[in-house]
């Protein structure tokens, strides 16, 4: 009887941990892979304040000025700073293998956007 209670308790704790990490996990994204020879091309915070009852959207565009010497993007990393009710992110154009990136952020209704974007390349 003692082993079954211990197993049920352990199973319950594991399930609670899984549920809590899914509830409190942000919407983090990674397109591509950061290699050992890659440079951080850009790091920027994307934010937009909440407005009651509305879904907020914001577009992030990364372009390199000198196209002749432009580096190729190898990875795009988005870190959600809001662990509850964070915004989703969509890679609209560019990304790994290209020279630029366009991202679209969409918040939950009634919540804002606060994400950090890192762009890596070589």
Mind listing the pLDDT tens digit for each residue in 12-21? 444 444 433 4
Looking at the structure of the chain, the number of domains it has is 1
Instruction: Supply φ then ψ for residue 22, to 5 degrees.
Output: -75, -30
Confirm whether 18 is domain-assigned. no
Q: Which two tokens stand for residue 70?
A: 């432009």
Query: Would 13 be classed as within a structural domain?
Result: no
Check residues 14 and 113 and name the one with the higher pLDDT. 113
Q: Report residue 74 as tokens.
A: 């190898």
1 occurs within a structural domain: no
Torsion of CA 45, 91, 57, 60, to 10 degrees: 40
Please give the model's pTM, rounded to 2 decimal places.
Answer: 0.76
Range(s) of the domain holding residue 42: 26-121
Q: Per the domain annotation, does 62 fall within a domain?
A: yes
The answer to the question of residue 8 being in a domain is no
- pLDDT, one tens digit per residue, over 40-69 is 999 999 999 999 999 999 999 999 987 778
């Amino acid at each position: 009887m003692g082993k079954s209670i211990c197993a049920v308790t352990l199973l319950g704790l594991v399930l609670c941990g899984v549920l809590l990490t899914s509830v409190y996990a942000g919407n983090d994204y990674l397109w591509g892979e950061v290699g050992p020879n890659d440079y951080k091309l850009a790091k920027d915070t994307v934010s937009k304040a909440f407005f009651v009852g509305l879904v907020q959207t914001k577009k992030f565009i990364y372009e390199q000025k000198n196209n002749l010497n432009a580096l190729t993007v190898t990875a795009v990393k988005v870190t959600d700073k809001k662990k509850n009710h964070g915004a989703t992110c969509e890679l609209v154009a560019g990304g790994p293998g290209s020279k630029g990136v366009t991202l679209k952020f969409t918040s939950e209704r009634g919540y804002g956007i606060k994400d950090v974007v890192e762009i890596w390349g070589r």
